[in-house]
Structure 1
């Protein structure tokens, strides 16, 4: 039985970017009695090579997305943004959000019990009741969701696993679970950085017309920014950047998710350094929390790690902005693992803070 994670602090949110992140909680297995349409194009031999079944005892991590009261949630999201509504800007804590729009505690416990009986382990649950982090072996996962986890190799030589046929929610979970995310580890985040030599703080001021804000003394005071990253940073690097450009304000903070990472030299670390330097140039007085996850492609798929970070940010209740500088192509998917947005869920994920 997983210990419940709780916190009482309420934090107001103002950023739609978090909604984009939470789209990774999209449905990747259907609750109907038939399989979802297969992504046949993604399985063409020219694109990937089937190596065979993933070993039955291979560990797999994924997320189970819990059903929500979608109609009530849509109404709340409309009202919380409507100045004429009594609920305008009346944001909810994660626990209140979960109680109002999520499964009952007894139903959530029932889901956990069903997963446990299938040989799977719930490794994390959240007060907002949007999803459960789950781990198990490939054989048990395939048996529960009516699929087989295969191993593939892409054109770059990288190995990944994905289900075939598309997974299906079993009848016992159908009224409680809307889908699953992360059974394919194919999608890999690509850093979205800028050309060599980059830009300094003054260049950023001109490019984004930030100068007028700085001249009014608006430098990020009172803001807390969560940064999703598949790398870490060296304290000496961020300190050196601050000295070089005369930037004051708090040093970014490390925070590990899914085991974290200590990599400060790879591509993910370079992207992280760029993100942190840019944020400090734009909002030097803001507090930055670096949510660090291992590079995707192993136990954690990109979808899973990104969803885990969003859930952790919501649970921590400290940040009102999320920064993500990674991208992935939706066609680079196998077995129904596309990044399909569910607007009510993705918008609600951060509207309750």
Structure 2
């Protein structure tokens, strides 16, 4: 495919892309505006400590281990609550303390999540911490957060591991991007009527495919990753339910338009929206929700689709996940939102914490318990691994060494870094490209997605420094918090953290300041786990009213997480069971059977995400690799017969 593009537009697009939002790490840029309005209502989530977490870990492993007495014996929410939730005495003690301070509380059915509502002044007194308003000098955003560390009351200390919602500074990013090359030439395809245009360009194989990079559909995904044999057997997700956890509401008509426009027959009236904490409303992330539904529901056209949306913040995101898991209706759950794992560390959040304190302040542990519950209940959970390559802070903070700029350490995205979630990475499928009349270049094999290949092209034909693409690409690397899980112990290619990784800020008044020192050679959880096409240059069509209707050239690992969820819905129908936590199962299969004609996986041997390169084994650039879904289905069904 040969297209043209003016490189000045690319530079503009990337400037906007990397502007990002303010996060906890920009403490040098906060202006304290004094005590927040005391009567302001807020929702806060308390996460109660699991009972027998080690026993829960063993149980989860047994549910996906053939021959185990608990193989495929997943729990109901009530069973999970009875075995691993808080006791009646603990819950009574917590609720009594909250009620005495005028706070209203609700305990979810899992007995580990407590939603609390009240005013800022009530919470300030309950946790003995003044809550101030601050203004970000970088963005002008006003937010509130405690001006000192919370003091956990003795009545709660033995039961509560996290308190989320009193700090609304950090917001999560949607992991979707539009390709710079197609930004000017995105196809409108006749407004919202895409049927004729797409069907006329239909590729061989799946009749809903376009065969056109930048305009790929779920039909192309089926062609790329050998899903069509399942469709030919009548496997379309019937009896399965997929859930989207998101921080933006959307118009369900967009998804219906997408499916009908590509000629896909789907189950009618299957989308249900669940607004958590009042819902998120329509906002600039609504296109994210639309694409999640279009991809998951498009790959599994007869599956039910649940959409849990909540306000953008730690408590809203946790509450949406908690509701999706506690409801226990969905067989698979995906999210395409996240933030750098390091933004949760004490060094960036606790006044007086040392710069090498990489303990978290509760949010990572809170999400971890929800993901463990999902695994025990047989729910497969997927999260986008990010779109900043191996340097996850770049989209939120930018990078550089100038005044007012941050450095870019090797970092990974959360919640994708959690060991009980399957991290969805990104690749670039084969494509030919050219810019501004220069020679045609090509990617000849599926590669780790990183725009370093475009950087080399622009450096060659437009001159070094003309365009700066660092570091757009599929997120991947090594967690600095979660230790390497057992399922990665025997995996060739897993890495430890690199040495001398620091997050520094060049303070205009004080000069360079180190905010965070990451641990050297830490044997952490590696991600992603599985990758599929995510490069916007080989990207997808999107129908989103908030993004102008029908547009092309969209990508990001946002597409991969819901695609894996939709694939899980197919596998669940085929097997007749929930699939459960993917990670122990797919790493076992890869370790034993490797790659080859009958393997469920294809290695990704080329490309890079600006640090980690493709390899004929696991790599933090692409994880295990991409899928052969028919072979994965055969392996999983054979295991169920043991």
TM category, shorter: 0.7 to 0.9
Counterpart of 2:263 in structure 1 is: 246
Q: What is the CA–CA distance in structure 2 between the aligned matches of 1:188 and 1:342, rounded to whole Å? A: 17
Counterpart of 1:325 in structure 2 is: 336
Deviation at 1:128? 1.1
TM-score (norm 2): 0.44
Q: What is the CA–CA distance in structure 1 between the aligned matches of 2:66 and 2:254, rounded to whole Å? A: 45
Counterpart of 2:431 in structure 1 is: none
For residues 151-190 of structure 1, the aligned pairs below 5 Å read 151-154=133-136, 155-190=138-173
Q: What is the CA–CA distance in structure 1 between the aligned matches of 2:334 and 2:368, rounded to whole Å? A: 21
Q: What is the CA–CA distance in structure 1 between the aligned matches of 2:368 and 2:26, rounded to whole Å? A: 31
Q: Are 1:67 and 2:91 matched, yes or no?
A: no
Structure 2 gaps, min length 5: 1-23, 180-185, 187-214, 351-359, 378-642
Counterpart of 1:225 in structure 2 is: 242
Q: What is the CA–CA distance in structure 2 between the aligned matches of 1:68 and 1:339, rounded to whole Å? A: 15
Residues 273 and 307, structure 2, Cα contact 8 Å, conserved in 1: yes
Q: What is the CA–CA distance in structure 2 between the aligned matches of 1:275 and 1:290, rounded to whole Å? A: 9
Counterpart of 1:18 in structure 2 is: none
User: Aligned to 1:318, what secondary structure does the other structure show?
Assistant: coil
Counterpart of 1:131 in structure 2 is: 113
Correspondent of 2:93 among 93, 110, 125? 110
Structure number with greater Rg is 2
Residues 163 and 183, structure 1, Cα contact 8 Å, conserved in 2: yes
Deviation at 1:76? 2.4
Counterpart of 1:23 in structure 2 is: none
Q: What is the CA–CA distance in structure 2 between the aligned matches of 1:117 and 1:202, rounded to whole Å? A: 57
Residues 252 and 290, structure 2, Cα contact 8 Å, conserved in 1: no
Deviation at 1:207? 4.6
Which deviates more, 205-214 or 58-67? 205-214
Correspondent of 2:372 among 323, 348, 352? 348
User: Aligned to 1:71, what secondary structure does the other structure show?
Assistant: helix
Q: What is the CA–CA distance in structure 2 between the aligned matches of 1:171 and 1:257, rounded to whole Å? A: 30
Distance 1:127 1:280, change over 3 A: closer
TM-score (norm 1): 0.77
Q: Are 1:120 and 2:139 matched, yes or no?
A: no
Deviation at 1:346? 4.1
Q: CA offsets per residue over residues 72-106 of structure 1, 9 Å max, x none?
A: 32332333333343222222211121111122223
Deviation at 1:134? 0.6
Q: What is the CA–CA distance in structure 1 between the aligned matches of 2:310 and 2:217, rounded to whole Å? A: 27
Q: Are 1:201 and 2:218 matched, yes or no?
A: yes
Q: Are 1:293 and 2:331 matched, yes or no?
A: no
Which deviates more, 207-216 or 79-88? 207-216
Q: CA offsets per residue over residues 2-35 of structure 1, 9 Å max, x none?
A: xxxxxxxxxxxxxxxxxxxxxxxxxxxxxxxxxx
Q: How many equivalent pairs are there?
A: 304
Deviation at 1:347? 4.0
Q: What is the CA–CA distance in structure 2 between the aligned matches of 1:120 and 1:323, rounded to whole Å? A: 32
User: Aligned to 2:28, what secondary structure does the other structure show?
Assistant: coil
Q: What is the CA–CA distance in structure 2 between the aligned matches of 1:307 and 1:163, rounded to whole Å? A: 19
Q: CA offsets per residue over residues 296-353 of structure 1, 9 Å max, x none?
A: 2xxxxx2211221122223322111111111222444644657424696244221332
Counterpart of 2:276 in structure 1 is: 257
Deviation at 1:262? 4.7
Distance 1:200 1:131, change over 3 A: same
Distance 1:164 1:349, change over 3 A: farther
Q: What is the CA–CA distance in structure 1 between the aligned matches of 2:374 and 2:164, rounded to whole Å? A: 19
Counterpart of 1:271 in structure 2 is: 288
User: Aligned to 2:364, what secondary structure does the other structure show?
Assistant: coil
